Amino acid sequence: MVKENTGWFTRTEKGIKTDIKNQKEIQEGLWYKCPKCKKIVPTEDHEANLNVCECGYHDRIPAVKYFEILFDDNKYEELFGNLTSADPLNFVDTKKYKDRIKATQKKSGLKDAMTVATGEIDKQKIVIAAMNFEFIGGSMGAVVGEKIARAVDFALENKIPLMIVSKSGGARMMEAAFSLMQMAKTSAKLAQLSDAEIPYISLLLDPTTGGTTASFAMLGDVNIAEPGALIGFAGPRVIRDTVGHDLPEGFQRSEFVLEHGFLDYIVERKNLKKTISQQLRMFAN
């Protein structure tokens, strides 16, 4: 043991202990820091507030969380859960597409970028197709298109409304034209729903871009969005670089899109179930 005279303090041991066993262990994910206002709150409190900050920032949540919010008593039946992506092009970028699919399925616990379920909202039957952004950026491939088509068929057969929750970076490049075909396929299926006079509600989340926006996301009888959601075809950076000019403040955010007539209204997450319920009752009348 070495003593050093430091004036105000006396050091009894030289050096600073940094052994992990001497440090207080900090649990990961214990705190949430809002990317907008930078406020730090306990993760438990953030989740209790539906992952919405006091400043109004709506954090992204998985599809199953929307099922929990919307369906009565969190009771629902998943549909078409066995569908998985094929690899018709034998696509390879930094890794084989087959390997990417398997790795993403293992990491996320999901089969693909769309989950479909049916249940009730305030005792009103509905089928909901919700996108999973954590699965390759919510990209739209053949499985997404097929699940939407089957969801439409289910709604037609049971004569119940359809709701699609969009959260996507656009078409899945690894499936090329097979992915782009889903734009026409989903639009045609939704036309069948319209012909049968069965309501279709579209909920747009952050982000909803690319081929998703150019097809089913903007075709609702009612188009709704959460506050601050990025909604557009090409991203603002691409547009800015193309036109060579700065873009208006809030460009392509849901408030901007609403102001320019492409949305019917914006709904905070805490009011989502009540709003959808009211909308379903209006359609029923």
Instruction: List, run by run, the mean pLDDT of 10-residue segments along the chain (285 residues).
Output: 46 47 52 95 95 96 96 97 93 94 96 97 98 96 98 98 97 95 98 98 97 96 97 87 86 95 96 97 92
pLDDT value of residue 28? 55
Residue 237: its pLDDT value, please? Answer: 84
CA–CA gap between residue 96 and residue 80 (Å, rounded): 25
Residue 11: the pLDDT is 52
Per-residue pLDDT tens over the stretch 214-241? 999 999 999 999 999 999 998 888 888 8
CA distances from 5 to 1, 119, 214, 265, 272 (A): 13, 73, 73, 70, 65
The answer to whether the beta carbons of residues 219 and 184 sit under 8 Å apart is no
60-284: in CATH 3.20.10.10: no
Exposure string of 110-137, with b = 16+ CB inside 10 Å and e = fewer, is bbbbbbbbbbbbeebebbbbbbbbbbbb
User: Angle 257-172-95 (CA atoms, 0-180°, nearest 5)?
Assistant: 140
Domain ranges of the chain: 18-58, 60-284
Q: What is the pLDDT of residue 13?
A: 54
pTM, two decimals, is: 0.87
Report residue 193: phi and psi, to 5°: -65, -40
Type of residue numbered 250: G
Taken in order 48, 53, 56, 58, the sign of the CA dihedral is negative
What pLDDT, on the 0 to 100 scale, is given for residue 282?
95
Which uninterrupted H or E stretch holds 54?
Answer: none
Residue type, 196: A
| Residue 14 pLDDT | 52
Q: What is the DSSP letter of 170?
A: S
**Between the CA of residue 96 and those of 99, 103, 170, what are the distances in Å?**
5, 11, 20
Cis (ω within 30 of 0) for the bond into 207?
yes
pLDDT confidence of residue 3 = 44
The dihedral region occupied by 141, where left means phi > 0, alpha psi between -120 and 50, and beta the remainder, is beta
